[in-house]
Amino acid sequence: MKFNKQDVLKALEFITVPGEGKNMVESGAVNNVQVFGDEVIVDVTINNPSLQAKKKTEVEILKAIHRKVYEKAKITVNLKVDAPAQPKGNEIKGKRIPGIQNIIAVASGKGGVGKSTVTANLAVTLAKMGFKVGLLDADIYGPSMPLMFDVAQERPMTIQVEGKSKMKPVENYGVKMLSIGFFTQPNQAVIWRGPMASKALNQMIFDAHWGELDFMLIDLPPGTGDIHLSIMQALPITGAVVVSTPQEVALTDARKGVSMFQQESINVPVLGIIENMAYFTPAELPENKYYIFGREGAKHLAEDIDVPFLGGIPLVQSIRESGDVGRPAALQTATPVESAFEEITKNVVREVVRRNTDLPPTEAIKITTMAGCSAVKK
């Protein structure tokens, strides 16, 4: 079988580079291709230093050449990693909150994809697993946690801790909670809520008595705005989880959400992506799955940008109903919804453990240049 360098390059054009939307040849990742008879040598450089990314690249190159050029070609892949240098100079040590082991930010690019619902259910599932859990509702546009936890009428009390006045989080279903909703009026304009939110957030973080927590979950507002920066400046976030529905408009925004965390000047590890409203199954036809918002879009996005896929949650009437009556659906026992949330929660915990083993503690970010801001507005 006769083939040449051009045939190999054409085959490599079918491989996309995660996160760049370009193919491997176009992006300049392929440095050199040499062909000697049925032997092919490919020199390639990638940015991602993880073992998974290296393996994936190698396998994709072998597959592409075997499928599109010659199935018996003997291929050698010489892989070089050119990881971007770690940001320096614009980070400070985060003010660790004593007693809080892990802080997980839950974000979504687009609004209404079920970020708060997923956060509430993650929190109660973690509590059911025996973890000590706190929940900070930072969604200034629509703080929904007080309703979802049936504590809308309550207000945090002030207690004395070691001679200082501290706010005591409200507690239900084994989850300690503070919400921006406790401090703002529902009909108050968002423009006023912004500055109040930053102040209130600081108080909810540092002037509250959270006690010992294994996990603090933060329900962020949708999008990639100033409030996200305020939180990342104030807290050493362990990692971020991004929630998306499988539909194209939500995925585009989820991609922006992930890249906000991965910006050099922000650098918060992304623990993974959760696909909400993944499919609908009518109770009377339990074997049928209808992919109303598209099929596995968030899963494919996770693969494309090389972040873990944490699992899918179906579109289920009881999830909406339980949210509305203030009792998260994952509290039901022996239901498919409970199992789906258990699966996802286990994956989140696994990724937190992996992250804590592989990486140094995240430092809170001090934005000393506008780099962070332009990053967010991209």
Residues annotated within the binding site for ATP are 109-116
CB closer to ligand ATP, 142 vs 194: 142
225 backbone dihedrals φ, ψ, rounded to 5°: -120, -165
Applying CB under 6 A, the site for ligand ATP has a residue count of: 20
Strand partners, 134: 176, 216
Pick from 7, 139, 253, 351: which binds ligand ATP (CB under 6 A)?
Answer: 139
**Residue 33: closest CA among 8, 64, 70:** 8
By the 8 A CB rule, do 23 and 12 touch?
yes
CB closer to ligand ATP, 33 vs 298: 298
Query: Quick one: 43 exposed, middle or buried, by C-beta within 10 A (0-12, 13-18, 19+)?
Result: middle
Subset of 296-325 contacting ligand ATP (CB under 6 A): 313, 315-316, 319-320, 323
**194 scored as a contact of ligand ATP (CB under 6 A):** no
By the 8 A CB rule, do 108 and 115 touch?
yes
Provide, rounded to whole angstroms, the least separation between the CB of residue 58 and ligand ATP.
37
Instruction: Give CA–CA dist 168/160, Å, rounded.
Output: 9
91 backbone dihedrals φ, ψ, rounded to 5°: -120, 145
Provide, rounded to whole angstroms, the least separation between the CB of residue 111 and ligand ATP.
3
Provide, rounded to whole angstroms, the least separation between the CB of residue 82 and ligand ATP.
37
Pick from 19, 142, 194, 211: which binds ligand ATP (CB under 6 A)?
Answer: 142
**245 scored as a contact of ligand ATP (CB under 6 A):** no
Subset of 5-34 contacting ligand ATP (CB under 6 A): none
How many residues can be counted in the chain? Answer: 378
Instruction: Give CA–CA dist 182/175, Å, rounded.
Output: 16
Among the residue ranges 78-86, 138-146, 152-160, 172-180, the one whose residues contact ligand ATP (CB under 6 A): 138-146
Strand partners, 81: 46
**114 scored as a contact of ligand ATP (CB under 6 A):** yes
**277 scored as a contact of ligand ATP (CB under 6 A):** yes
Q: What is the DSSP letter of 82?
A: -
Question: What binding mask, one character per residue, do residues 144-163 give for ligand ATP by CB under 6 A, x or -?
Answer: x-------------------
Cα pseudo-dihedral 49, 51, 54, 55, rounded to 10: -170
Instruction: Give CA–CA dist 292/199, Å, rounded.
Output: 40
Binding site for ligand ATP (CB under 6 A): 108, 111-117, 139, 142, 144, 222, 276-277, 313, 315-316, 319-320, 323
